[in-house]
Every structure is written in C-alpha cells, then in structure tokens.
C-alpha cells in the first residue's frame, strides 16, 4: 500500500518529501503540513477530485478531501 507522500510524488509531481518533518504553526488554529512542492501536488490532487465530481465519477469530492486532510494531520 502506498503512502500519501508516495502518491503525491508519483502522480502529482512532488519533488522530495511532501510533508514537513514538524508541522509549522501559522496561527492559533492552523498549521502548515506540506513542503512547497507537497502543497502544489496536494492542490493538484484536490483539483482532480473536483473534476471527477463534475464528471459524475465521484459523488462528493469535499468528503474525500476531508478524509485526506485527516490523513495529512496524522502523517
């Protein structure tokens, strides 16, 4: 089974590690989890999910992104 890091590298052009070693606090409630390259790759993944929803292939892209965000916070 592949990790999200590996998927972002293989299919979405992430160069190197997708995730920061330690999440960076942005403000009281927000953290940054991705490297610059990882953030770009994750954005591409989210756009793909939106497009698949628009094509009728998946029903709820937002739900999938929420599940992925949960994985990101646990990585």
Q: State which residues form the domain around 67.
A: 4-74
Average pLDDT of every residue of the chain: 95
How many domains does the chain fold into? 1
- Residue 75 is predicted with a pLDDT of 67
Query: Is the pLDDT at 35 greater than 90, yes or no?
Result: yes
List phi, psi (to 5°) of 60.
Answer: -140, 90
Question: Mean per-residue pLDDT for 11-31?
Answer: 94
How far is it, in rounded angstroms, from Cα 9 to Cα 3?
A: 10
Taking alpha carbons only, the member of 75, 67, 61 closest to residue 21 is 75
**What does residue 19 show for φ and ψ, rounded to 5 degrees?**
-110, 145
Global pTM value: 0.91
d(CA 55, CA 32): 31
Q: Identify the band that residue 59 occupies on the pLDDT scale cut at 50, 70 and 90.
A: very high
CA distance 22 to 17: 12
Per-residue confidence at 74, pLDDT binned at 50, 70, 90? confident
């Amino acid at each position: 089974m592949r990790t999200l890091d590996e998927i972002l590298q293989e299919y979405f052009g992430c160069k190197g590690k997708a995730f920061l070693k330690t999440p960076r606090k942005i403000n009281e409630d927000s953290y940054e989890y991705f490297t610059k390259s990882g953030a770009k790759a994750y954005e591409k993944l989210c756009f793909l999910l939106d497009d698949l929803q628009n094509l009728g292939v998946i029903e709820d892209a937002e739900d999938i992104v929420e599940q992925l965000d949960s994985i990101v916070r646990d990585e």
